[in-house]
Structure 1
């Protein structure tokens, strides 16, 4: 007999990354070009690794406590968000630590979204974020990025204003966005903030990549805009900016009015990350203002290499982040078809079915964080061969 499936799982979609990663991991022969998942081959700061090793033998780190996260990490995370936003946050009262950034996103959604509420997101948005909206009982409401082949992704501000209806309670946004690398400029954030204030919306800000910006762009943190300090929940992560993916540590910094619910959900969910990871993340985050630039420069070199390899093809130029998209429908195929063809060329990349309404299955995502420039060269020939172009 078929098993009863909870209704909350009806629209939970696979993200495809796990399947593509398994193909590359298990294959015989020459190694695949790993462009399918958000890993990075650049190691974390040496001080963070040393602190992790030391923590593995210290009794104070072999603990659940404090349930809201270690004090130093909360202080460092709150100070980090304060410096970027211009809003004064207190680590003891306005920060809770989560088991990774996505765990923090789910906690924030569970603390703010009623069943049936709409959550405004960009189109496309990473499927893992969409799935968490649905797990929380919400429904994604899409606002499309405008795609121009060979150009940057741009927010459609008119569509944004139109999308805010009576069921929208929360915006879940990130800049640069994942998977496009789309960036909200100052005018975009002013438009977003005005709508949040006008309609009394909560902004859940995913800052996993907010400092991974190219071409001299500056971080704009919207909590500092008029009316936004009291309605912005900032969720950060050690994975992308600090290159500490396996540590699985995130932080949520928010106005005090949200904190009781955020803490209650956190305690009912995963509680906190492993103790041996937290102070290492605090160490890396505290020094990241001085250590981040060379890493971002290397990512920019990789982005530029992929763009040069795919020159003339319908790709979107990412303003930041780890990935870019190729529109495969221009060649009469979907992203999944191109993904399968590229496997024969030893290239592993993830299709995007279910990642959006306007922009989804007709794209293929290439992640450039896990391969050096030398290995990225030659990608264009393989893609063109797979396209038959």
Structure 2
């Protein structure tokens, strides 16, 4: 999308803390120094994703404040992808960067009914911001996709009406969904440990990554020899074990992908057990 708008994407990856035993997505951090070093007079915006996909990291207030300070200092917009905002675990708290001082007028917060109400195929979402920013987005939206399916919009409105009445109660879907997924998260982690793998426990979302560098398998397949290690590994998993996962290096830019080609991503939003 940045390229289509005539811009150039500049990437700063999350990385594990140096010298730490990486057990949680919270152990992965964004370098303040690296982020600040990438900002030039041509920089227009910072794009963030919290809770993060594929890692499941939920940005802490101090991490968001660091980003906010840079946005304010350099007069930048912030696009904040928060589609997994209701899916957090173990006390991790989702904070909207738009709620920080000085950020409401420069932040576009992106949400998703597909993620919020477990209806991903509907592709219904929203953007929240100040009137000055939204009026420009409405013009672009009006002249590109116009609107999404009326039936899906109506269904989502009913979902919000119900949540408005039940918010904060045990019947709220915003409480029921993370509670259900927490159990599936624990079960997947247990399965990975039983296979000799160390899961990186996500603080949010419904994905879990694990380091596969300790798994010794024969990946000498001529058809995949030029691909990165994680791409070759997930294809081996599909062929040999009937298990579909995602190579984590696919989420990184070309200049950083080699740093992360020993991780794969699992999904625990569904769990099917045999009889």
Scaled by the length of structure 1, the TM-score of the pair is: 0.58
Q: Which residue is equivalent to 1:371? A: 271
- On the 8 A contact 1:144/1:159 being kept in 2, the answer is no
Separation in structure 2 between the aligned mates of residue 191 and residue 286 of structure 1, nearest angstrom: 35
Q: Which moved more, 1:340-349 or 1:144-153?
A: 144-153
Counterpart contact for 1:205–1:233, Cα < 8 Å:
yes
SS across alignment from 2:115: coil
Map of 1:301 onto structure 2: 183
Q: In the alignment, what sits opposite 1:242?
A: 117
Q: For residues 197-231 of structure 1, give each alpha carbon's deviation from its aligned partner in whole angstroms, at most 9, with x where no partner exists.
A: 00111011112101110012222111121110110
Structure 1 residue aligned with 2:50: 175
Count of aligned positions: 243
Structure 2 residue runs without a partner (length 5+): 220-228
1:157-216 alpha-carbon deviations (Å, 9 max, x no partner): 332233323332111112111111111001111111111100111011112101110012
In structure 1, the partner of 2:226 is: none
Local SS of the residue matching 1:320: coil
Does residue 164 of the first structure (1) align with residue 39 of the second (2)? yes
- Deviation, 1:326, is 2.1
Tell me the secondary structure at the aligned position of residue 142 of structure 1. coil
Match of 1:340 among 222, 228, 235: 235
Tell me which residue corresponds to 1:94: none
- 2:251 counterpart residue number: 355
> 1:331 deviation in Å?
4.8
* Separation in structure 2 between the aligned mates of residue 196 and residue 330 of structure 1, nearest angstrom: 40
Name which of 310, 320, 323 aligns with 2:204: 320
Paired with 1:307 and 1:222, the residues of 2 have a C-alpha distance of: 30
Q: Distance in 2 between matches of 1:155 and 1:303?
A: 24
> SS of the residue aligned with 1:139?
coil
Separation in 2 of the partners of 1:134 and 1:360? 24
Distance 1:135 1:369 in 2: 32
- Which moved further from structure 2: 347-356 or 224-233? 347-356
* Residue 159 to residue 260, structure 1, CA distance change in 2 (3 Å): same
Q: 1:285 to 1:159 in 2, by over 3 A?
A: farther
Structure-2-length-normalised TM-score: 0.81
Aligned counterparts of 2:7 and 2:260: Cα–Cα separation in 1: 20
Q: 1:275 to 1:224 in 2, by over 3 A?
A: same
Aligned mates of 1:178, 1:217 — CA distance in 2: 16
CA separation of 1:229 and 1:360: change in aligned 2, threshold 3 A: same
- Contact 1:249–1:277 (CA under 8 A) maintained in structure 2: yes
User: 1:104-136, CA deviations, whole angstroms, 9 ceiling, x for partnerless residues?
Assistant: xxxxxxxxxxxxxxxxxxxxxxxxxxxx33333
Structure 1 spans left out of the alignment, 5+ residues: 1-131, 376-389
Which of 160, 173, 176 is the matching residue for 1:291? Answer: 173
Q: Does 1:215 align with 2:90?
A: yes
Q: Which residue of structure 2 lines up, in the alignment, with residue 142 of structure 1?
A: 11
- Equivalent residues of 1:174, 1:210 under 8 A apart: no
Deviation, structure 1 residue 255:
1.1
Alignment RMSD? 2.1
What secondary structure, in the 3-state scheme, does the structure 2 residue paired with 1:240 have? helix
Distance 1:151 1:291 in 2: 26
Tell me: CA distance 1:283–1:352, structure 2 relative to 1, closer, same or farther (3 Å).
Answer: same
2:244 match: secondary structure: strand
Q: Report how far residue 319 of structure 1 moved.
A: 0.6
